[in-house]
Structure 1
Amino acid sequence: MFLDTQVPSGARACVRKLKAVLTDPATDLVRIQVTFTSPSGDRASGCTKESPSTAQVRLPEPLGDRDVIVDNYTHFTADGAEPPALRLCGNLGCTPAATGCTAASYDQALMAVGAPRHTYRNSEQCDGKWLVLDFSWRTGPACGDSTDPACTSRLGDRWFFRAKKSGWEPIIRTSAGGCGDVQRKEPAFPPPLCESLAPLPSSLHPTYPPPSPSASPDSSG
């Protein structure tokens, strides 16, 4: 198996002992680590750029339809790829949820706008092609299980999206009510999804306990 990777480069030799090795016995996944040595940590070495290189690893048996994990986090799959190449999986995993009015698809929208971890989805207006997503996250001191309103205060946000093949694409962020802001940016946004929206308050004090949190926006699908 050949693995393309990026390595330090410069005027002099910047990489030695480039290799790829199996880190665990092959099961339903093949785990590989790519390593090399380089003086790139010392900028005086001149190894301040990057260039492509290839490492080779010999598998004890044919890969078949198994996925490959490189350096613990980069995931490749044969599913949907044209042999002998593998397909690089994204932050939503190798088989992301279809764009639509589902919880998994809303989680993709949260990732698209960099929502804070442990975000709560407060409401969704969705018709499959357009989406309004209100969400919030806790702020202030950590208060354990206290029911003190000061401990359950949350900041809120509102984003508008359009559906794309790759997922929900952000259009605009606003705290205003109604359709004015989004329709200035995207006139085709449908009024039924936005005309009844109230302005967002600067902070929210939900009835305790709060709603169940959505999946963390930085998790894999």
Structure 2
Amino acid sequence: MQATRSLAGVLLSIVAALLLSACGTQRAGAPSTAGTPHWQTFGPIRATAARLSGGGRALSVDVEVPGKGKTCARKLKAVVTSTSERTVWVQVTFSTLIGDPHADCSTTAPGTAKVRLPSALGHRELVVDNDTTFTADDADLPDLRLCGDRGCHPAPTGCTAASYDQAVAALDVPNHTSRGEEHCDGKWLVFDVSSRMGAACAEGEAPGCGARLGDRWFFRAEKSGWVPLARGTKAGCADVHRVEPAFPASLCADLPGLQRSN
């Protein structure tokens, strides 16, 4: 079976085929394909959704493939490549026409591949093409839930370090943002974050090297994890009470105002 490749691989293969045609090169021991249209197998651009039926064994996977006609994507199929007590792995493939002349496949189109699982998915995770994960846990069945960057079951909300890390990951902040002291009661959370800014040099070497930009973030615990409510720099609870009056004053009343440091 030919190797599965991404859309980038599709484009590279098309370019390679054209170059081979121009140079008259061919692989040893194989008939020449230079300038000859031929079908090649690839993986989809991405998996977008998955559904179960038939007692949890009939799986449908929605994917995005090159568009504009059957020469861009045909024979879309899914196969189960492996299973374990915790995971079911599924590979989706399609065929596209390579060679000269070839169709314009620069646009994309949706497609659905179906496969019957050896047994019901149950509480196992479904991994499609090794990089997209779905789960039936807490899903709106028959649709499966697409898992995020923190996995299918991120750290539960609570006053723990893992939970605080999940809260930072939910923010639109630089990767190397540091977190200050947390004030938490299990349902509500507030902490300051600090991000380096200014010149790229060792702190203290020149004016501005130690500059930081700080924000205070307020969160509420939801089923999906800590959800950001408000941000600000003012002392006390003013920033969050403008958005959520129910935020406990005991967690924020004594907080000082934030200033940029340098």
Q: Given the two structures, how large is their TM-score scaled by the length of structure 2?
A: 0.59
User: Contact 2:67–2:106 (CA<8 Å) still a contact in 1?
Assistant: no
Classify the secondary structure of the residue corresponding to 1:104: helix
The residue identity in structure 2 corresponding to 1:35 is T
Q: Does 1:141 align with 2:205?
A: no
**Deviation for aligned residue 1:189:** 1.8
**Paired residue for 2:134?**
76
**Paired residue for 2:214?**
156
Q: Does 1:111 align with 2:169?
A: yes
Choose the corresponding residue for 1:33, options 91, 104, 108. 91
User: Contact 1:159–1:171 (CA<8 Å) still a contact in 2?
Assistant: yes
**Paired residue for 2:150?**
92
Choose the corresponding residue for 2:106, options 24, 36, 42. 42
**Deviation for aligned residue 1:134:** 0.8
Choose the corresponding residue for 1:176, options 221, 231, 234. 234
By relative contact order (CA 8 Å, sep 6+), the higher-ranking structure is 1
Which has more radius of gyration?
A: 2
Change (3 A) 1:125 1:21: same
Change (3 A) 1:81 1:159: closer
User: Contact 2:67–2:73 (CA<8 Å) still a contact in 1?
Assistant: no
User: Contact 1:157–1:200 (CA<8 Å) still a contact in 2?
Assistant: yes
**Tell me, which stretches of 5 or more residues in structure 1 are unaligned?**
205-221
Count of residue pairs brought into register by the alignment: 194
CA distance in 2, matches of 1:174, 1:79: 35
User: Contact 2:136–2:144 (CA<8 Å) still a contact in 1?
Assistant: yes
**Paired residue for 1:2?**
59
User: Contact 1:8–1:40 (CA<8 Å) still a contact in 2?
Assistant: no
Classify the secondary structure of the residue corresponding to 1:185: coil
The farther-off stretch of 26-35 and 122-131 is 26-35
The residue identity in structure 1 corresponding to 2:61 is D
CA distance in 1, matches of 2:140, 2:248: 39
**Deviation for aligned residue 1:5:** 0.9
Q: Does 1:167 align with 2:231?
A: no
Across the aligned residues of Structure 1 and Structure 2, the Cα RMSD in angstroms comes to 3.5
**Paired residue for 1:219?**
none
Q: Given the two structures, how large is their TM-score scaled by the length of structure 1?
A: 0.68
- Aligned sequence identity (%): 51
Classify the secondary structure of the residue corresponding to 2:242: helix
Deviations 1:8-56 (A, max 9, x none): 5978556313122456x5455433332335667435xxx5xx44x3213
**Tell me, which stretches of 5 or more residues in structure 2 are unaligned?**
1-57, 97-102
User: Contact 2:68–2:105 (CA<8 Å) still a contact in 1?
Assistant: no
**Paired residue for 1:130?**
188
CA distance in 2, matches of 1:121, 1:163: 18
Q: Map of 1:49-64 to 2, 5 A cutoff? A: 50-51=109-110, 53-57=111-115, 61-62=118-119
**Deviation for aligned residue 1:57:** 4.1
User: Contact 2:217–2:228 (CA<8 Å) still a contact in 1?
Assistant: yes
User: Contact 1:161–1:171 (CA<8 Å) still a contact in 2?
Assistant: yes
CA distance in 2, matches of 1:40, 1:136: 48
The residue identity in structure 2 corresponding to 1:70 is V
**Paired residue for 2:12?**
none
CA distance in 2, matches of 1:62, 1:153: 57
